[in-house]
Structures are given as C-alpha cells and as structure tokens.
Amino acid sequence: MKLLRTWVFCFSILSCIQWANGQEDKMIDATVLDSLNKTQKIPISLRFGVDLSRIIKTQATPDFRGFETVADLRIRENFFIAMELGNEEVTQQSERINFTTQGTYYKLGFDLNMYENWEGMDNHVLIGVRFASSSHSQNLNSYQLLDRTPFWQDPELVIDSGFSTGSRESLNAFWLEFLVGFKVQIVQNVYLGLSLRLNRLISDTIPENFDNIYIPGFNKKTEDNKFGAGFNYTLTYRIPFRF
C-alpha cells in the first residue's frame, strides 16, 4: 500500500514535469518563430544623405553658403550611431558689426527610436545626442564705433579697413547637441527627416578682440549664454545591402 502511493507520487511528479516540458517546447517554438521574424527586421544597415535646408538656404540667400552630409548606422532595431559633416560660409550684418564666418564641423553621436512600427513600416521618432566640433575662421569686415557723446565725427561712421578689421584664423569650438526629430520612409529605402537641436557650448577659442558670434554648425552664439539651437531637414538613402 505504502509502496503503491510512493509510485503514484513519483509518476505524478514526472508527468507534471513532462507536461511542463511540453508547455516550454511550445513556447520555445513560438519565440523561435518570433525572433526569426525579428532578425529579418534588425539588420545592421547604413543610411546616408544630405541636409536639404542648407541647400535651399544656399540657393535662396546670397550671404549663406553651406552643405551638410548626414549618415547613420543602425546597430540595434532602435539604436543608431549617427554623424553629420558640414561646411558653412556665413556673412552677417549684426547690429553694428559685419562679419564672415567660414569653417567646417562634424557631429558624432547616437539616435534612439521611440516609435513602434507596424509590420512593414520603418518610421522613427528620434531622440539623440551629438558631440560636435568646429574649426573655423572669423573675418571682421566692418564695424561702427559706439560713441555716446559724438563731437568730431558722425557716430554711424563705418570702419571697413585697418584697426580691428581682418581675419582671425584657426578657431575651434566644442559643443553638445540634444535633438528630437523624426524620419519617415517615403519610398523603399528613402527617408525624409527633420530634427531640432538644442546646443550647449562647452568651449570655444575666442578670436582676438572679437567674439565667435556665429559658429558653423552651432549657429548663433549669444553673449553670456552657452545655449544655441539649430535644425536640419534631411533626405537619406539606406543602402539595401545588409552587413
């Protein structure tokens, strides 16, 4: 009698395990199927393109000449290593100062996709961070002197040669960018994207007897304020090849 109960007990335990195993097998099957689906969707892929806003601005305004290339590398389904490389030449009349800034910049960082796509879609709502650096020069074309009690000369007299005018070479700036944006796949492998950026200046070399009023890539630098803002409007192409 005692022996019988022991056998019943052992058998039921084993059957439980067997049943549980059966459950697990089914689950494994399910996940294997699912992950197979996913692995088809998460390739490492390279995407590159240009910033349309700078091209349009170059065409539309005579005082701006700029070009920016963008690229990102998808390493996880929702994680991208991203970079921008650009060149700008900007002439501005800013209140009492007329200057030209010319230089190149690069930005390197990552993007995180917050958007859950439906099957077959590949759109992104992105947040991202960039570390950015520029190497540029500032040329002071002309300026006016501030004279609170003008006596000899017209206070609006413009000084356009000698004195403090001239070029300040080999300047650098470093800053961080925080961005939000989105990318929409408009046709297979072609994306249209918009990003807004909040820039935080870390350091910059101050030009002699002048200031980095404009920094390529960073845009306008205001006095006593380490923050700037920018945006880009990109057209990118994903190389169909998967690594």
Partner 1 sequence: MNKIITKIIFVFICIGIMIHCERDDICISTVEGSPDMLILMLESKTGARKSPSGFSVRAIGTEKTLPQKSFGDSLALPLQISEAVTQFEFILNEGSENQNIDTLQINYQRLDEFINRACGYRANFILDQSPVIILNSGNNWIKGAIILKDTISDETAAHLGILF
Task: For the CB of residue 158, give the shortest distance to partner 1 in the complex, in Å.
Answer: 10
Given the complex with partner 1, which of 86 and 228 has the nearer CB atom? Answer: 228
Task: For the CB of residue 99, give the shortest distance to partner 1 in the complex, in Å.
Answer: 9
> In whole angstroms, how far apart are CA 104 and each of 71, 101, 137, 221, 228?
16, 10, 10, 16, 17
User: How many CB atoms within 10 Å of residue 113?
Assistant: 21
Closest CA to 182 of 108, 85, 111, 238: 111
- Residue 129 binds partner 1 (CB under 8 A): no
Task: For the CB of residue 76, give the shortest distance to partner 1 in the complex, in Å.
Answer: 18
**Helix (H) / strand (E) containing 94:** strand 79-94
Interaction pattern, residues 174-213, with partner 1; x per rule: CB under 8 A: ------x---------------xxx----------xxx-x
Binding-site size for partner 1 (CB under 8 A) equals 38
DSSP string, 182-198: EEEEEETTEEEEEEEEE
Cα separation, 75 vs 77, in Å, equals 7
Give me the amino acid identity at 50: V
Pick from 34, 147, 160, 169: which binds partner 1 (CB under 8 A)? 147
Please give the torsion angle defined by the CA atoms of residues 17, 19, 23 and 25, in that order, rounded to the nearest 10 degrees. 70
15: left (phi over 0), alpha (psi -120 to 50) or beta: alpha
What residues contact 76, with CB distance under 8 A and at least 6 apart? 42
Pick from 40, 149, 161, 188: which binds partner 1 (CB under 8 A)? 149
Given the complex with partner 1, which of 95 and 119 has the nearer CB atom? Answer: 95
**What does the block give as tokens for 113?**
């996709």
- Residue 10 binds partner 1 (CB under 8 A): no
The vertex-104 CA angle with 101 and 109, nearest 5°, equals 130
Pick from 80, 105, 143, 191: which binds partner 1 (CB under 8 A)? 143
- Residue 127 binds partner 1 (CB under 8 A): yes
User: How many CB atoms within 10 Å of residue 124?
Assistant: 21
- Paired sense of beta strands 97-113 and 158-159, if any: unpaired
Whether the Cβ atoms of residue 139 and residue 161 lie closer than 8 Å to each other: no
- Residue 218 binds partner 1 (CB under 8 A): no
- Residue 29 binds partner 1 (CB under 8 A): no
Task: For the CB of residue 12, give the shortest distance to partner 1 in the complex, in Å.
Answer: 47
- Residue 121 binds partner 1 (CB under 8 A): no
Pick from 3, 60, 146, 187: which binds partner 1 (CB under 8 A)? 146
Residues 50-89 that bind partner 1 (CB under 8 A): none
Task: For the CB of residue 5, give the shortest distance to partner 1 in the complex, in Å.
Answer: 56
Q: Point out which residues bind partner 1 (CB under 8 A).
A: 94-97, 114-116, 125, 127, 143-149, 151-153, 157, 159, 163-164, 180, 196-198, 209-211, 213, 220, 222-225, 227, 229
